[in-house]
Every structure is written in structure tokens, then in C-alpha cells.
């Protein structure tokens, strides 16, 4: 929708807005009983008009749904017959495909059968093949010499002409019946509309006869001048009732004339149909021998008898030939199958031995690889331990060299101090200090040596423990790898067994399929044998052909009698419907007489009223203008209301609604409610 909004009129009156809100808040399902018509009564009248239209559409929909159901039933019956005929023709074609005589040829007469339409899609090729097979089946039969060809052709042409005439008669009768049904439907729609208008509360409110008969015209007095309001209301109602009654009388007169004409036409049609039905029943009850001789069924059955006699010997010969070919093919297939199975078994055995050898080599290589990896890990651990001990040994040597150097420096100091006699006291003090320091250094060295030894011992213990753990880990790894190797070997063996089992299952399925094929072939042979037996039985029973023909004629006679009865019942139903229409016409005539008497009385009352109140014409004109304004569109004020909105029930003219739809202003001007083109209904106020 467009974003353009309608401009709001400046300065709206608040009292009008409140009054409008109050009016929409009240339910609009009540009709006033006295006084002039209000806006709510007009809305109520519009809604009733909508309901009448919806009732008419509902009845039409019911009739259409019933007709659609009948068409669906007929379609299902025709489809069943078509499927049966299709299966019969397919069986005939498949039966005669095995003969050499009816193979697909190049010199095909395309005019024998109707060509295939290309609009069938994926089934076109299949239909073309079936058509060629049928042409090859029918073409040699048509080429056979026929005795008394011209006489038979003349009889066929005569029967065809008679059938075409009968077909045209049936088509005319069907057309007449369809027209009659359409007329009855139209009459039913008119009757429904008349009934709904008769049951309408608003029309009863407008055309209330009781209120028209109650007022009594009096002479003009001063008291009447004081009661002008009440008399105006009564005069308005009388005028409205008079106009409505006048219109209804005209409508009833026209309907009466139309219904009488239709009744006369239908009576003529019923008489014609009765005469035709009697003629057909006489012909069907007593058919002559010439009619039987001219019937296409008798000629087709005799020709079919001759053709089947000639074909029986051919079928027997072809069946024996196909049986011998089938046995030879079956023996060759079994021999080839046995040789192929032996070759497959030998190849499978050799492949299985080679696979087992490869698996043993693979397991041995994996075991050697795991042992070498364990040795490498142990050697790496021992190498780290030897490097650590070598470093501690070097550190120990460095410390010993340092001690020796310190001892040598102390000895040199003693020798230097001995040479100097002057500083003996100082040297002694210095010596005592050095001895104290030396003792402290020795104690510190011992402590560090002990700490280093303890740490070295701890490291050695932890190293030995780690070596033990690595050894255990290597052993566990070897066990794990050995278990995995055993698992791999088991999985490979399981895989081999599964493959062997699958191959065995495939062989079993192949054997089962071969067995099914053999059973199907055996069933086909049995079916062919049964068909041959059936053909023999048919040819043996050919002597009783005339008896069967008489039975078929009796069945046809029964079917025709049933059709006669059905037509008779339909005729009775039509007679009943015509009688019902006659009763309706008589009722309508009685209603017209009563209404005409009422109209006369109302005319007399109106003449008296106008004679006594000469100023009432202006008031009547004002009332007419007010009613006319109610029926005109409130948007353009020039066209009558002929469309309504389903969402809210407000009525407008078609031009205004179409203009709003084309300009995409899809809101009701009265209540501002959204609507679309599907919410628009045509009405007649």
C-alpha cells in the first residue's frame, strides 16, 4: 500500500465524533418497530440484502457440488472400464508378440488405427509400440478375402446412418433436457429470492399492511394541526408501503406470465418425449430377424469364430516351438552358471591363501619393529645417566685441584712468615685467623660434599626407579602392541569371514533369483497351457453360439427395459415437478389477486388522503428525496449503491470503490477498515 494518507478535515466537531463512536459501539442487529426509518434500519436492510445474496450463492454452490459429485462418479466408472479394456488389449498384444507373423514390420498401414497424440509425455513411445503391434495384428486379418463384401458394406452403411440419426435425436433430447434443467434452476433461484424477500424483516417493516389499514382519514380540524408529526409518519409509511406493493405486483405479474409460458413449453416437450419413448419401447420389445442380421455384433462374432479357428493351429505350433527353444536355453544357462561358479571358487581360495601369508609377514615385521623401539629407548636412558656421572666426576676433580692449590698457598705463607723474625706476632695472629678460616672452609666443604652426595644418591635412586619404570613401560608397550597385532589379525580374519559370508549370501540370492525366474517361466508355461486349454474349450463350445447369442439378446432386452423404466421414472419425476410448478403458479396467482385487492384499497386510501391533505405532496417529495439520498453513494452523491464491503457492511457505488482500488486507497471511508478486491460484493437495494 502507498504511504499517502487522506487529509483530515480541519476543525472536526467533537459532538459528531462522539455520536459516531457511540453509534458504532452499539450492536446493529435491532430493527426499529415504529416511526420513520433510521440509519441503523438502512444498515440492517443492507445486511439483509447481503444475506439474501449469500443464500442464493449457497443454493447455487450446493447444486454445483452435487453436479460435480455426479461427474466424479461417472469419471470413476469410465476410468474403471478404461483400465479393464486397457489390460485386455495389453494381454492380447503380449500374447501375439511371440508369433513370427505379427512382428513389427516396415510396411505398416497407418490408416488402420488412429495415430498417437504427442501430448502423453513419457507414455508416447509405449503407446506407439502397442499401436504398431495392433496394426500388425489387424492388417493380415483385413487382407483376407471377404464374401459378399458389397452387401455387408451396404448393410453397415444403413446401420451407421440409422445410428447417426438416433445419435442426433439423443443429442437434441439431451440439449432440451439441459435447457429445461437450466430453466428450473433459474426458477429455483427466483423462488429463493422471493422467499427471502417475503421473510425479510425490513421489507415487512416497510410494507406492513396492518399499519396501512389502521389509520382512518378524518376531516381537517385544528387538532390535526397539533398532531402533524404523527400524521406525517403514518403518511410516510403508507406511501412507502404503496410504492413497494405496486412494484411487487408488477414483478409478480411478469413472473406469472413467464412461468405460464415455460409450463406450456415443458408440457409440449413431455408429450414429444412420451411419444418417442413409446416408439423406442415397441422396437426394443419386438426386434425383427433382419435387425439381428444387420447388427454389427452378429457379424463380428461370426468373423471372429473363423479367425480363431485359423489361429488355433498356429498357436499350438508356436507353443511347441517356444517350449523346445526354452528348454535348450535353460540347459545352456545352467552349464555356463556351473563353470563360472567353479572358477570363482578356485580364485577365491588362491586369493585367501595369499592374503593369509601377507598378514603373517606383516605381524612379524611389526613385532621386530616394536622390539627395536624398546631397545632404543633403554639405550637413550642409559646414555643420559652416564653423562650425569661424568659431570659429577669432573666437578669432584676440580674441587680437589682447588684444595691442593689452597694447601700450597698456605705452605708458601708459612715459609714467608718464618723468614721474617720481626713480624712473628702478627704472623701468628694471621696464622690463627687463617687456620680458623680454613677449618670453617673445610666444614663448609664437607657439608656441601655431603649435600651433593645425598642429592647424587637421590638422583641415582630416582634414575634407577625411572629405569625400572621405563623397562616396565616397554614391556607393557610390547604387550599392548602384541594385543593390537592379535586384534588386527582377528579383525582381518573377521573381515575375510564377512566377505566370504557376503559372497555366499550373494550366491544364495543369485540362486534364489534363478529359482524365481524358473518359477516365473514355469508359471508362464502353465498360463500358456491354460490359455490353450481355454481356446480349445472356446472352439468346442462354438456349436452353442446361437444359444449364447440369444442369451445376449435377452440381456440386451433386459437392459433396454431397465432403461425404459428409468426413463419412465424420470418422466414421472418431471411430471411431478411440472405439477409442483403448477401449484406454485396457482399460489402466486392467488397472492397476486390478494395483493391487487390490497393495492386497490391502498389507492383509495391514498386518494382520500391526498384530497384531504393537498400540502402532503411537498412532504412526500421531501421523503422521497431523503430515501433517494439514503440509496445514493455518500462519496460521489450521484450513483446508486451497488457494492458492499464484507469486512464492515458499508455500501458504495462501483465507480468510487474501483477508483479507490486503482489508487491503492483500500480503507473504508466510513469506518477506516482495510479491505481488498475480494471483499467486494454486488448488491441490489
Q: Which has the minimum average pLDDT: 227-236, 241-250, 274-283?
A: 227-236
Co-location of 540 and 657 in the same domain: no
Burial 224-237 (b: 16+ CB within 10 A, else e): eeeeeeebbeebbb
351 and 463 together in one domain: yes
Residue 42 pLDDT > 50, yes or no?
Answer: yes
- In this predicted structure, the answer to whether residue 80 has a pLDDT above a threshold of 70 is yes
CATH number at residue 682: 3.30.40.10
- 371 sits in which H/E element: helix 296-419
At which of 505, 527, 545 does a domain end? Answer: 545
379 and 515 together in one domain: yes
Q: Tell me which range, 20-34, 232-246, 370-384, is most confidently predicted by mean pLDDT.
A: 370-384
Confidence of residue 6 (pLDDT cuts 50, 70, 90): very low
Q: Specify whether 406 is located in the same domain as 528.
A: yes
Residues sharing a CB contact under 8 Å with residue 392, sequence separation 6 or more, in sequence order: 452, 456
pLDDT tens digit sequence for 511-562: 888 888 888 887 887 787 787 777 777 766 665 666 666 676 667 767 766 7
Cα separations (Å) of 536 from 301, 309, 313, 322, 533?
17, 10, 10, 19, 5
Q: Find the radius of gyration of the CA atoms of the chain.
A: 59
Span 488-516, average pLDDT: 82
Contact 685, 640 (CB under 8 A): yes
Do residues 633 and 641 lie in contact, with contact meaning Cβ atoms separated by under 8 Å?
A: yes
Contacts of 43 (CB under 8 A, 6+ apart): 28, 649
Whether residue 167 is contained in a domain is answered as no
Q: Residue 645: which H helix or E strand, with range?
A: strand 643-645
**What local confidence, expressed as pLDDT, does residue 408 receive?**
76
pTM, 2 dp: 0.28
Cα–Cα distance for residue pair 94/626, rounded to 1 Å:
84
Asked if the model's pLDDT at residue 106 lies above 60, the reply is no
- Give 21 or 60, the one with higher predicted confidence: 60
Q: Per-residue pLDDT for 292 more than 60?
A: no
- Domain annotation covers residue 145: no
Q: What is the pLDDT of residue 407?
A: 73
Alpha carbons 44 and 50: distance in angstroms, whole number: 10
Is the pLDDT at 102 greater than 60? The verdict is: no
Count how many residues are written for the chain: 685
Checking if the pLDDT of 110 tops 60, the result is no
Say which range, 142-146, 186-190, 456-460, has the weakest mean pLDDT.
142-146
Residue 5 pLDDT grade (very low, low, confident, very high; cuts 50, 70, 90) = very low
**Cα distance from N-terminal residue to C-terminal residue, the chain:** 31
Tally of structural domains, the chain: 2
The answer to the question of residue 192 being in a domain is: no
pLDDT at 81: 76
Per-residue model confidence as pLDDT tens digits over 210-231: 354 445 434 343 343 344 445 5
* Residue recorded with cell 625400572: 468
Per-residue pLDDT of 646-656, as tens digits, reads: 888 889 999 99
Concatenating the DSSP letter of every residue in 70-93 gives HHHHHHHHHHHHHHHHHHHHHHHH
652 and 503 assigned to the same domain: no
Cell numbers given for 320: 511347441
Do 392 and 522 fall within a single domain? yes
Q: What is the pLDDT of residue 656?
A: 92
For residues 437 and 232, the model is more confident at 437
pLDDT of residue 222: 39
Q: What is the arithmetic mean of pLDDT over 189-209?
A: 73
Domain boundary among 545, 577, 611: 545
Domain membership flag for residue 15: no
336 with 447, same domain? Answer: yes
DSSP letter (8 states) at residue 677: G
Tens digit of pLDDT for each residue in 626-638? 778 888 888 888 8
Which among 528, 545, 562 is the end of a domain?
Answer: 545
> Domain of 338?
319-545
Lowest-pLDDT range, 46-50, 222-226, 596-600, 645-649? Answer: 222-226
Q: Give the model's pLDDT for residue 500.
A: 80
Identify whether the C-beta of residue 667 lies closer than 8 Å to the C-beta of residue 673: yes
Residue 185 lies in a domain: no
- What pLDDT sits at residue 1? 36
Average pLDDT over residues 180-208: 76
The stretch 19-25 carries a mean pLDDT of: 37
Between helix 149-198 and helix 296-419 the angle, nearest 10°, is: 70
**Averaged over 175-185, what is the pLDDT?**
81
Q: Identify the burial level of 619 via C-beta atoms within 10 angstroms of its C-beta, where 0-12 means exposed, 13-18 middle and 19 or more buried.
A: middle
Q: In what order do the strands lie in the sheet with 680-682?
A: 651-652, 643-645, 680-682
Tell me, yes or no, whether 340 and 472 share the same domain: yes
- 360 assigned to some structural domain: yes
Q: Are residues 522 and 638 in the same domain?
A: no
Calculate the average pLDDT of the chain: 71
Q: Establish if 306 belongs to a structural domain.
A: no
Question: Average of pLDDT values for 142-165?
Answer: 71
CA angle 68, 72, 78 (to 5 degrees): 140
- Mean pLDDT of the region 14-28: 38
Q: How many CB atoms lie within 10 A of CB 96?
A: 18
Residue 557 CB contacts under 8 Å (≥ 6 apart), including other chains: 284, 285, 287
Question: Is residue 675 situated within a structural domain?
Answer: yes
Residues 416-447: tens digit of each pLDDT: 555 555 567 777 777 778 778 777 777 877 78
Rounded distance, CA 473 to CA 110, Å? 91
Of 474, 262, 285, nearest in space to 379 by CA:
474
pLDDT over 50 (residue 360)? yes
Predicted confidence (pLDDT) at residue 22 exceeds the cutoff of 60: no
Lowest mean pLDDT among 143-147, 225-229, 407-411: 225-229
In three-state secondary structure terms, 17 is: helix
Asked if residue 328 and residue 453 are part of one domain, the reply reads yes
Share of residues in the chain with pLDDT > 70 (%): 62
681 strand-pairing partners: 644
Amino acid at each position: 500500500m502507498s504511504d499517502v494518507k487522506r487529509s483530515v478535515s480541519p476543525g472536526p466537531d467533537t459532538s459528531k465524533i462522539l455520536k459516531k463512536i457511540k453509534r458504532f459501539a452499539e450492536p446493529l442487529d435491532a430493527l426499529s418497530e415504529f416511526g420513520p426509518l433510521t440509519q441503523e434500519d438502512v444498515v440492517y436492510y443492507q445486511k439483509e440484502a447481503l444475506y439474501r445474496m449469500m443464500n442464493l450463492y449457497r443454493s447455487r454452490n450446493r447444486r454445483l457440488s452435487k453436479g460435480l459429485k455426479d461427474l466424479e462418479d461417472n469419471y470413476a466408472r469410465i476410468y474403471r472400464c478404461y483400465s479393464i479394456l486397457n489390460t485386455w488389449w495389453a494381454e492380447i498384444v503380449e500374447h501375439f508378440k511371440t508369433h513370427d507373423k505379427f512382428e513389427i514390420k516396415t510396411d505398416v498401414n497407418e490408416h488402420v488405427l488412429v495415430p498417437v497424440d504427442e501430448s502423453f509425455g513419457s507414455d508416447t513411445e509405449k503407446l506407439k509400440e502397442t499401436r504398431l503391434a495392433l496394426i500388425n495384428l489387424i492388417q493380415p486379418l483385413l487382407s483376407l478375402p471377404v464374401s459378399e463384401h458389397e452387401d455387408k458394406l451396404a448393410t453397415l452403411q444403413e446401420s451407421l446412418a440409422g445410428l447417426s440419426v438416433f445419435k442426433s435425436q439423443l443429442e437434441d433430447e439431451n440439449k432440451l433436457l439441459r435447457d429445461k434443467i437450466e430453466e428450473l434452476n433459474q426458477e429455483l433461484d427466483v423462488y429463493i429470492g422471493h422467499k427471502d424477500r417475503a421473510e425479510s424483516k425490513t421489507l415487512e417493516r416497510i410494507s406492513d399492511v396492518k399499519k396501512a389499514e389502521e389509520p382512518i382519514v378524518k376531516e381537517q380540524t385544528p387538532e390535526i394541526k397539533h398532531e402533524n408529526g404523527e400524521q406525517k409518519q403514518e403518511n410516510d409509511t403508507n406511501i412507502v408501503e404503496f410504492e413497494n406493493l405496486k412494484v411487487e405486483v408488477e414483478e409478480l405479474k411478469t413472473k406469472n406470465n413467464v412461468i405460464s409460458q415455460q409450463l406450456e413449453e415443458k408440457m409440449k416437450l413431455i408429450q414429444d418425449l412420451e411419444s418417442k419413448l413409446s416408439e423406442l419401447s415397441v422396437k426394443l420389445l419386438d426386434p425383427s430377424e433382419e435387425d439381428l442380421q444387420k447388427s454389427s455384433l452378429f457379424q463380428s462374432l461370426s468373423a471372429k469364430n473363423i479367425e480363431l479357428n485359423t489361429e488355433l493351429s498356429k498357436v499350438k505350433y508356436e507353443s511347441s516351438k517356444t517350449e523346445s527353444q526354452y528348454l535348450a536355453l535353460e540347459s545352456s544357462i545352467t552349464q555356463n552358471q556351473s563353470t563360472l561358479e567353479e572358477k570363482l571358487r578356485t580364485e577365491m581360495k588362491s586369493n585367501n591363501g595369499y592374503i593369509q601369508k601377507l598378514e603373517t609377514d606383516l605381524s612379524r615385521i611389526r613385532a621386530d619393529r616394536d622390539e627395536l623401539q624398546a631397545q632404543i629407548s633403554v639405550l637413550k636412558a642409559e646414555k643420559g645417566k652416564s653423562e650425569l656421572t661424568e659431570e659429577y666426576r669432573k666437578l669432584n676433580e676440580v674441587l680437589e685441584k682447588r684444595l691442593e692449590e689452597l694447601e700450597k698457598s698456605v705452605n708458601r705463607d708459612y715459609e714467608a712468615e718464618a723468614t721474617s723474625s720481626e713480624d712473628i706476632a702478627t704472623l701468628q695472629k694471621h696464622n690463627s685467623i687463617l687456620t680458623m678460616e680454613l677449618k670453617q672452609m673445610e666444614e663448609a666443604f664437607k657439608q656441601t660434599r655431603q649435600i651433593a652426595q645425598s642429592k647424587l644418591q637421590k638422583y641415582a635412586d630416582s634414575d634407577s626407579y625411572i629405569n625400572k619404570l621405563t623397562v616396565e613401560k616397554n614391556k607393557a608397550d610390547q604387550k599392548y602392541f602384541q594385543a593390537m597385532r592379535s586384534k588386527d589379525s582377528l579383525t582381518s580374519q573377521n573381515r575375510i569371514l564377512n566377505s566370504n559370508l557376503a559372497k555366499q549370501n550373494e550366491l544364495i540370492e543369485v540362486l534364489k533369483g534363478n529359482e524365481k525366474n524358473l518359477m516365473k517361466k514355469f508359471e508362464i508355461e502353465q498360463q500358456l497351457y491354460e490359455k490353450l486349454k481355454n481356446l480349445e474349450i472356446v472352439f468346442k463350445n462354438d456349436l452353442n453360439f446361437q444359444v449364447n447369442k440369444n442369451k445376449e439378446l435377452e440381456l440386451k432386452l433386459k437392459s433396454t427395459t431397465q432403461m425404459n423404466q428409468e426413463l419412465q421414472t424420470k418422466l414421472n419425476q418431471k411430471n411431478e415437478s411440472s405439477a409442483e410448478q403448477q401449484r406454485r403458479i396457482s399460489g402466486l396467482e392467488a397472492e397476486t389477486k390478494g395483493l391487487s385487492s390490497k393495492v386497490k384499497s391502498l389507492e383509495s386510501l391514498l386518494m382520500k388522503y391526498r384530497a384531504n391533505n393537498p400540502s402532503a405532496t411537498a412532504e412526500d417529495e421531501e421523503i422521497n428525496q431523503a430515501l433517494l439520498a439514503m440509496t445514493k453513494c455518500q462519496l460521489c452523491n450521484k450513483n446508486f449503491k451497488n457494492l458492499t464491503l464484507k469486512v464492515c457492511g458499508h455500501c458504495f457505488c462501483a465507480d468510487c470503490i474501483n477508483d479507490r482500488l486503482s489508487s491503492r486507497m483500500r480503507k473504508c471511508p466510513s469506518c477506516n477498515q482495510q479491505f481488498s478486491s475480494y471483499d467486494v460484493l454486488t448488491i441490489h437495494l
